[in-house]
Amino acid sequence: MAEVCKDIDAALNNLNNKIESLNGRVRNLEQRQNKDNSNNSNNSNLEKRVSRIESYINALHNDLDAIGKLIKDINSLLEPALTLVEKMGTVVLKAVTAVTSVFGGG
């Protein structure tokens, strides 16, 4: 009978060791899960930051589009004036050339 009790004690001890091993694995899994949960909250913060950056980029894109339109508008206003100045410059150059040829300069 004593030998049977030793066998039962050994089996219970073996079972206890297996339970402790499983408890250790469960603790490790819980720690990894908690770590993953904290990483998810960090990811949430990153997602918020990326969203803010995207909104800044979109606003900058809109501003650059508005600046481009403004430059085109200014160019369309200045183009006729520059054409007029060019024509006037041509007329003045012809006049100077005529005057210098009459007076024998250059």
Choose the most confident range, by mean pLDDT, from 7-11, 36-40, 51-55.
51-55
Alpha-carbon Rg of the chain, whole angstroms?
44
pTM above 0.85, yes or no: no
Distance between CA atoms of residues 10 and 15, nearest Å: 8
Burial of 78 (0-12, 13-18, 19+ CB in 10 A): exposed
Q: Mean pLDDT over residues 29-35, rounded?
A: 89
What is the per-residue pLDDT for 36? Answer: 78
